[in-house]
């Protein structure tokens, strides 16, 4: 795993550092604007750590076992460990909010807060509440994750292992072959009628476009005899909230492809800190022979270049189409912390 340079952390001991445990949804929601400001300020944060993603997640999938740590310096929010307890049979797991359908999870820590100071408060937090959990199970953390490098006291044992792969395309390394194929796909589809690709952002269109996208995504999987992740009204409602939130903050990138006025494909993604995150796609099964999914991905890549993104993140899963564009694997890790027996 890669190391973290100490220069990345500007140590500041000016002011009073205070830690607080948040146990209710109301407390969590009360810090939403400060949380958003902290998230926006961190170059390695992802959409999956934002309040625009995690607050809807908690409202939709959460329980009554919130256990989140906040740390303030002179009253300003400097760090957040958005955690809760999940009873997995007889094992009580301390998890990040968002565990399950979030591709990247982590702590949020301002570089203005001394890392050792944060580490001290996190360990105190784990000690103080260790009667409530059996294993701290921190999932989908990236190679540069702060979580992976936190020191734990001798009373705890920690294990870290690879959990998943996330193919990443560096936008200065796009496959020339893929771009030539994209031009061929576009010429072939243009013979079918009038084409149009748009970024869905207008409030009055967003909900209808999401409904069509959900249906196309489910139809794709049904054609394979399987159920897709969006074939569930609870999950759909979650994404309606997320899409609305991220659209309002300017981070939603939801592309729609139409032929003769009929929507036949979508790419649902996000953009933050010069990176595009390609979360899900939806394609009308009757149009897959025209590679319309690849055409929308190609459009999203072109738009990402236009918006000065440095990378196009295909997120979890090693599907072949991701490598077609020139993506290379990055790894996510899982960190488990337990009391020594």
Q: How confident is the model at residue 64 (pLDDT cuts 50, 70, 90)?
A: confident
Give pLDDT tens digits for 95-122.
999 999 999 999 999 999 998 889 999 9
Give pLDDT tens digits for 132-162.
999 999 999 998 887 877 788 889 999 999 9
Would the pLDDT of 166 be above 70?
yes
The answer to whether residues 254 and 209 touch, using CB atoms and an 8 Å cutoff, is: yes
Would the pLDDT of 1 be above 50?
no
Kind plus residue range of the DSSP H or E element containing 263: strand 262-272
Would the pLDDT of 202 be above 70?
yes
Q: How confident is the model at residue 244 (pLDDT cuts 50, 70, 90)?
A: very high
Would the pLDDT of 8 be above 50?
no
What percent of the chain shows pLDDT beyond 90?
88
Dihedral over Cα of 298, 303, 309, 310: its sign: positive
Q: Residue 14: what pLDDT?
A: 58
Q: Residue 309: what pLDDT?
A: 98
79: β partners: 71, 109
Q: Residue 10: what pLDDT?
A: 37
Give Cα separations from 110 to 12, 80, 146, 318 (angstroms): 11, 9, 11, 32
Give pLDDT tens digits for 16-43.
899 999 999 999 999 999 999 999 999 9
Would the pLDDT of 273 be above 90?
yes
Would the pLDDT of 7 be above 70?
no
- pTM for this prediction: 0.93
- Enumerate domains of the chain plus CATH numbers: 6-164+332-339 (3.40.630.30), 173-309 (3.40.630.30)
The answer to whether residues 233 and 214 touch, using CB atoms and an 8 Å cutoff, is: no
What DSSP designation does 47 have?
G
């Amino acid at each position: 795993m890669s190391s973290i340079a100490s220069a990345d952390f500007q140590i500041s001991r000016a002011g009073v550092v205070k830690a607080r445990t948040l146990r209710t949804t109301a407390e969590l929601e009360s810090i939403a604007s400060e949380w958003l400001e902290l998230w926006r300020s961190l170059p390695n944060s992802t959409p999956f750590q934002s309040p625009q993603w995690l607050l809807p997640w908690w409202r939709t999938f959460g329980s009554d076992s919130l256990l989140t740590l906040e740390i303030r310096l002179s009253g300003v929010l400097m760090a957040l460990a958005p955690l809760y307890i999940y009873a997995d049979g007889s094992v009580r797991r301390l998890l990040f909010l968002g565990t399950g359908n979030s591709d990247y999870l982590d702590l949020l820590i301002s570089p203005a807060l001394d890392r050792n100071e944060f580490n001290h408060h996190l360990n105190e937090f784990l000690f103080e509440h260790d009667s409530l959990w059996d294993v701290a199970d921190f999932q989908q953390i990236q190679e540069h994750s702060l979580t992976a490098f936190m020191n734990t006291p001798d009373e705890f044992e920690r294990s870290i292992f690879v959990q998943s792969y996330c193919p990443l395309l560096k936008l200065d390394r796009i496959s020339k072959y893929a771009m030539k194929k994209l031009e061929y796909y576009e010429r072939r589809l243009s013979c079918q009628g009038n084409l149009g690709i748009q970024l869905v952002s207008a409030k009055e269109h967003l909900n209808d476009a999401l409904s069509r996208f959900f249906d196309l995504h489910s139809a794709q999987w049904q054609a394979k005899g399987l159920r897709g992740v969006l074939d569930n009204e609870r999950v759909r409602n979650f994404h309606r909230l997320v899409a609305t939130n991220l659209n309002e903050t300017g981070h939603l990138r939801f592309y729609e492809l139409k032929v003769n006025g009929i929507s036949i494909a979508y790419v649902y993604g996000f953009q933050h800190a010069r990176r595009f995150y390609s979360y899900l796609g939806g394609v009308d099964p009757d149009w897959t022979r025209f590679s319309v999914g690849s055409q929308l991905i190609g459009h999203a890549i072109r738009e990402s270049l236009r918006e000065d993104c440095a990378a196009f993140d295909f997120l979890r899963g090693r599907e072949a189409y991701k490598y077609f564009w020139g993506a290379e694997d990055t790894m996510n890790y899982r960190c488990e912390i337990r009391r020594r027996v």
